[in-house]
Chains A and B, each alone.
Chain A
Amino acid sequence: MRHVRGFDVVRPLSIWMLIFMMMPLVFLPLASIFIFGTSSGLGNFWAALNAPEAIFALKLSMVTSFWATAFNVLFGLFAAYVLSRYNFLGRNALIVTISLPTAIPTAVAGFALLLLWGPYGTLGRLLRPQGIQIMFTASAIVLANIFVTFPLAFGVIKPVFDTMSRSLEEASATIGATRWQTFWHVTLPSLRGAIVSGALLTFARAVGEFGSTILVSGNLAGRTQTAPLYIFAKFNEGQIEAANAIAIVLALFSFLIFSVLFFARDWLDVD
């Protein structure tokens, strides 16, 4: 018997219900950034974006996030290799420890870093006489970013390692490749998708980081102020438009990254 279209009310109802529920929670807040940000004309929006401090904040965010991402992807790759290729006592404990930073509130993470590297911190105290100051610099922001995004790349790469057949690497070895050649020609290409997704995830998360950054950076405009800190500072000063312009950039930026992650999944995993 043919299905009668008119009777299927559950389907459109569910879809509309879903959209309706998401309205006040997700769509409207996002939409208001764009509506408000452009309400006083594109000219004002452009001017707000072009303020030197705004440009600096965006650049600083990108640069610090880049270094944190580079480090965490390399580290994640290495950690995933070690932890999936070798079996040793305390392996599971290490896996848990690596994954821990995501579970720690970012403010706690920032505070912990201060306690270690701050002028009177455990290590910072020793560095201060050498004239080395880490906190309240761009390096501090990178450190904080590394800490809070630590397990993201690892978490994406490790499962791929685990499921990758050992025989590929063994085949490469019997064919005559060195360990390094095997890693470069055989292991790495199979990880390409995981590495790209891991990097994008880490980067997106690092660009948006606020809680730990505000503690360790000192929040100095034009020196250690990242984009999220800039939004917060301008909002506090009552310069809503300035804050809004950067908010739009950050929102668009995350859209972009997640679209890539979503739509490029197939491309990243092509055989």
Chain B
Amino acid sequence: MKAQVARIMDSSITPPLPESMPQPAASIVGISKRFGKTSVLENISFDVAEGEALVLLGASGSGKTTILRIIAGLEQPYTGKIMLHGKEVTELPPRERGIGVIFQSYALFPKMTVEKNIGYGLRIRRRRRKEIKNTVNELLSLVQLEEHRKKYPSQLSGGQQQRVAIARTLAYKPEVLLFDEPFGALDAQTRVHLRREIRALLRKVNVPAIFITHDQEEALELGDRIAVINVGHIEQIGTPREVYNNPASEYVATFLGAANILEGTISRGHVVVGNAQMPARLLGDRFKEGQAVKLIFRPEDVLISKTQEFPTGHACLSSGVVEEISFVGAYERLRIRLEASSGACETSDTPFYLTTETPERSNAKPVICTRPKPETNAFRLRTGDRVFLGLSSFTVLPNDARTSATSQPIIKTSI
């Protein structure tokens, strides 16, 4: 593994948009929403650049659909405003916003053929027959449904229906596309296939899009940027790389990919977990001495070794005992119980630290790590083996009852 330059990221600053895009295609400014007395959205703000695909990622019930419906004008926000291409549309009805919505259920008109569905937006705009026909033909070939033009939606497969829904939306040239869980109703294979197709299609038509999903894999693949939503607020917004590698909160770390979380404290530039300690020089004065923190690292950032010697770019965390090995197709997954009280790595530059935490508590948590095939073959492991764990990258977050992305300093360290 290559040594990387350590970075400190302040997540309260959202990554700037590319400079070539002077004005965002859509700006969502301080949106909140209540249904009766329950607040479902709090102060949601984000921009979508021209041609960009933004993914709203969140668990079911987190408020994603509500955000989309507010942008589309199907729901009124309690506070805040919606700007599309610099024009405020908060008060406009859906039909005057120039947006295209692809509904979760596709919402194709059941009594219209594929052709009629696609041409609908132009028919109600009273375009010429010739123009409608040409546009419909173009779109039919774009979504590869030429031979299904005379069929009714009920005669099509889920994937085909969705392509009709997209074509129907593209027909009237909307300025922003909104997709609500577009692949929710499809089987795993079609889903992967279709999302690549849609990604390519969007690049071709160059319309900015907002996708909604609860599927992290989908979010990583579809989004130029991802906004992680947790119970009505944005936890973090950034490129897939940023959000995955530098999670701004425990929620983001665990929702987007798997993460190990160990509780520890700060002591002399180190994160101390039980008797183990990770050098974290870059913490600087962001954390107070003795402050409770969480050490977060991804299963694939763990390197397993027989000895305490690790290649550069890794720091030894602790020793541990392999509890379980499972084969998960492309890689091997290990559950390792840390021996943090006795198995701390000896490091030359730091003395041995005792923490106030009882060993039981900090030891109780097993960590999960994954190993790619070549590594598995080079160094076979069995349950019960004693190994050393090194980390190539980890994140330190303050250990509060509620870790908020906006109010707390967050440190990301790559070794």
Do A and B originate from a single complex? yes
Which residues does A use to contact B, with CB under 8 Å? 165, 167-168, 170-178, 181, 185-186, 189-190, 192, 271
A109 and B298 alpha carbons, distance in the complex (Å): 77
With A167-B105, A186-B109 already in contact, the answer to whether A174 and B124 are too (CB < 8 A) is: no
Whether the pair A174, B105 counts as a contact (CB closer than 8 A) is no
Name which residue of chain A comes closest to B99, CB basis. Answer: A174
Contacts of B72 in A (CB 8 A): 170, 174
| In the bound complex, CA of A178 to CA of B123 (Å) | 12
Contact between A185 and B105 (Cβ–Cβ < 8 Å)?
no
List, in ascending order, chain A residues with CB within 8 A of B154's CB.
271
Contacts of A167 in B (CB 8 A): 103-105, 107
Contact B93 A168, beta carbon cutoff 8 Å: no
Of the listed residues B97, B104, B107, the one surrounded by the most CB atoms of chain A closer than 10 A to its CB is: B107
Interface residues of A, dominant DSSP? helix
Q: Does B64 contact A (CB under 8 A)?
A: no
A176: B residues at CB distance < 8 A: 95, 121, 124-125, 172
Residues on the B chain within 8 Å of A192, using CB: 111
Question: Contact: A185 with B103, CB < 8 Å?
Answer: no
Please indicate the chain B residues that have their CB under 8 angstroms from the CB of A186 in the complex: 109
Q: Is the CB of A171 within 8 A of B124?
A: no
Which residues of B lie under 8 Å from residue A190 when comparing CB positions?
A: 110-111
Cross-chain contact A171 with B111 (CB below 8 angstroms):
no
Contacts of A271 in B (CB 8 A): 110-111, 152-154
Nearest opposing residue in chain A for B104, CB measure: A167
Q: Which of A165, A168, A170, A175 contacts B74 (CB 8 A)?
A: A170
B100 lies within 8 A of chain A by Cβ: yes
Task: List 18 extra interface pairs beyond A167-B105, A186-B109, CB under 8 A.
Answer: A165-B105, A165-B107, A167-B104, A170-B94, A171-B103, A172-B109, A174-B74, A174-B95, A175-B95, A175-B100, A175-B120, A175-B121, A176-B125, A177-B124, A181-B124, A185-B123, A185-B124, A271-B153
Distance from A178 Cβ to chain B, minimum over Cβ atoms (Å): 7
- Residues of chain B lying within 8 A (CB to CB) of residue A168: 107, 109-110
Residues of B within 8 A of A177 (CB): 95, 120, 124
A165-B105, A271-B110, A271-B153 in contact; A173/B124 too (CB < 8 A)? no
Picked from B95, B123, B152, the residue with its CB within 8 Å of the CB of A173 is B95
Residues of A within 8 A of B104 (CB): 167
Q: Nearest B residue to A173 by beta-carbon distance?
A: B94
Q: A165-B105, A170-B94, A170-B103 are in contact. Are A175 and B124 (CB under 8 A)?
A: yes
The residue in chain B whose Cβ has the minimal distance to the Cβ of A168 is B107
Give Cα distance in the complex from A173 to B125, angstroms: 12
- Closest residue on chain B to residue A169 by CB atoms: B107
A167, B94: Cα distance in complex, Å: 13
Q: How far is the CB of A180 from chain B (nearest CB, A)?
A: 10
A-B contact pairs, 21 of them (CB 8 A): A165-B105, A170-B103, A171-B101, A171-B103, A174-B73, A174-B94, A174-B95, A174-B101, A175-B100, A175-B120, A175-B121, A175-B172, A176-B172, A177-B120, A177-B124, A178-B95, A185-B123, A185-B124, A192-B111, A271-B110, A271-B153
Of all chain A residues, the one with the shortest Cβ separation from B97 is A174
A68 to B332, CA, bound (A): 75
Q: How far is the CA of A165 from the CA of B95 in the complex (A)?
A: 19
Which residue of chain A is the closest to B103 with respect to CB atoms? A167
B169 at the interface (CB under 8 A from A): yes
Chain B residues with Cβ below 8 Å from A189 are 109, 111-112
| Separation of A186 and B110 alpha carbons in the complex (Å) | 9
> In the complex, A171→B104 CA distance in Å?
11
What separation, in Å, do the CA atoms of A60 and B322 have in the docked complex? 93
Chain A residues with CB under 8 Å of B100's CB are 174-175
